[in-house]
Amino acid sequence: MKFIVSSLKLLKNLQALSGVIGTKNTLPILDDFLFQLTENELKITTSDLDVTMSVSMVPDMVEGTGEVTIPARLLLEIMKNFPDVPITINVDNNTLAVELIAGEGRYKLAGHKSDEFPQLPVMADTSVWEIPADVLARGFEKTVFATGVDEIRPIMSGVFMEMTENYLTFVATDAHKLVRYRRMDVKSDVVASFIMPKKPINQLKNILTGLADELVRIEFNKTNASFVFGDYVLICRLLEGRYPNYEAVIPKNNPNQLTIDRQTFLSAIRRVAVFSSKATHQVRFRITGQEIMLTAEDIDFYNEAKERLACSYMGDDMEIGFNSRFFQEMLGNFDSNEVKLEMSAPNRAGILTPVDNENEAEDLLMLLMPVMLNA
């Protein structure tokens, strides 16, 4: 089999798929790209058994048909060094020897049989959603950072997605922090939900970000989900189990409300956090009147920092401590100029929301559990 493609187009597709390939694969075949050539289409696939992703492209010229797997690392390394030129790939169907021809250069490598490459799962009893690519990418972007790495509760390592007749919800939590992102402009007559693992989310997020006008067709059942958009198809194994009742942990009555410029707040926390304990990363918030005092100290090394900021505050004077790393992550994932921090008590979760949300269809809420204040 033989085909000719643009080097840059092929490289772009190979790089998009390469994130699926694991670093320590149990099967050698999983280190390869699967190439399948028909009379008018080239399909390239990667898999790590849990996630399988493929892209289809139309070559400039095709001779013959067939399939072969090609070592991914070696192919990517050579493709990165080509300018934008036509690449001829010639595969001997008997020996599976692969030859790349670009201008005056000829490069040979060994291909492998494709019969050991994982087969796609057969999906039955599926539900179907169609979601705009930019909505899906944004939902993943706003939540995936809050997922956990708890081996005892693997469902916490994914993002919970639920569609109702009123909105589409994305939720992620690691028991210390929680993010809920809702879109009021995406809804369905049938209520359905599933839990997406982190790896396929990151894989999709990177590709979907640039596809604003594309619709993503999601087909899923209890064990697998497929995402079809443009020339790509991604199929992944879902996380099985019951997601925690996240609504129950969101405090409803929060009389103490602080509004502050997000970037000023974030920069101050970053400075103060340098002096915090490396064990707890605690920063103390002391709120009185219309100002907030940020304090951090590392008793072991006699380090201390204090910074005073002006804010708009309604409520009782209070002191509360937060993990500065988590707080910085959250503030960094807002787009608004100002944020609101709602609190009820020093031992209850604080809730962050944007003040000036540009998109009325968006509803973003972030929750962070406090850390116990030192005496």
Spell out the domain ranges in the chain: 2-110, 127-247, 250-368
Is the pLDDT assigned to residue 375 strictly greater than 80? no
Query: What pLDDT does 25 receive?
Result: 85
Give pLDDT tens digits for 172-186: 999 999 999 999 999
Alpha-carbon gap, residue 133 to 220, rounded angstroms: 17
Three-state DSSP class for residue 359: coil
- Residue written as tokens 């997601």? 243
What architecture does CATH give domain 2-110?
Roll (3.10)
How many angstroms separate the Cα of 311 from the Cα of each of 15, 48, 73, 260? 46, 50, 52, 5
Question: What fold, for 127-247?
Answer: DNA Polymerase III; Chain A, domain 2 (3.10.150)
**What are the strands, taking DSSP E only, across 103-237?**
105-110, 127-132, 158-163, 168-173, 177-183, 192-197, 215-220, 224-229, 232-237
Q: Over range 201-209, report the average pLDDT.
A: 92
Query: What is the number of residues in the chain?
Result: 375
Alpha-carbon gap, residue 272 to 283, rounded angstroms: 8
Question: Looking at per-residue confidence, does 79 or 301 come out higher?
Answer: 79
Check for a shared fold between 2-110 and 127-247: yes
Give pLDDT tens digits for 82-96: 999 999 999 999 999
Closest by CA to 161, choosing from 151, 152, 171, is: 171
Closest by CA to 234, choosing from 157, 120, 127, 133, is: 120
List the structure tokens of 31: 């280190």
Alpha-carbon gap, residue 252 to 322, rounded angstroms: 20
Query: What pLDDT does 151 receive?
Result: 81
State the virtual CA torsion across 191, 197, 202, 207 in degrees, nearest 10: -50
Is the pLDDT assigned to residue 212 strictly greater than 80? no
Closest by CA to 335, choosing from 358, 307, 365, is: 358
Please, which pLDDT band fits residue 50 given cuts at 50, 70 and 90? very high
Is the pLDDT assigned to residue 7 strictly greater than 70? yes
Q: Over range 347-355, report the average pLDDT.
A: 97
Alpha-carbon gap, residue 343 to 317, rounded angstroms: 11
Alpha-carbon gap, residue 214 to 20, rounded angstroms: 22
Helices 324-332 and 262-273: crossing angle in degrees, nearest 10, is 150
Query: What pLDDT does 323 receive?
Result: 97
Query: What pLDDT does 374 receive?
Result: 67
CATH class name, domain 250-368: alpha beta
How many angstroms separate the Cα of 137 from the Cα of each of 133, 203, 371? 6, 10, 32
Is the pLDDT assigned to residue 213 strictly greater than 90? no
Taking the model in full, what pTM does it have? 0.94
Q: Over range 224-251, report the average pLDDT.
A: 95
Query: What pLDDT does 224 receive?
Result: 97
Query: What pLDDT does 23 receive?
Result: 86
How many angstroms separate the Cα of 312 from the Cα of each of 264, 292, 320, 340? 13, 9, 17, 9
Give pLDDT tens digits for 292-337: 999 999 988 889 999 999 999 999 999 999 999 999 999 999 999 9
pLDDT mean across residues, the chain: 95
Q: Over range 182-206, report the average pLDDT.
A: 95
Query: What pLDDT does 6 receive?
Result: 97
Alpha-carbon gap, residue 287 to 192, rounded angstroms: 42
Is the pLDDT assigned to residue 166 strictly greater than 60? yes
List the structure tokens of 294: 């940020």
Closest by CA to 354, choosing from 230, 182, 207, 221, is: 182
Residue 348's contacts (CB-CB under 8 Å, 6 or more residues apart) are 251, 370
Query: What pLDDT does 121 receive?
Result: 86
Q: Identify whether the C-beta of residue 60 lies closer than 8 Å to the C-beta of residue 72.
A: no
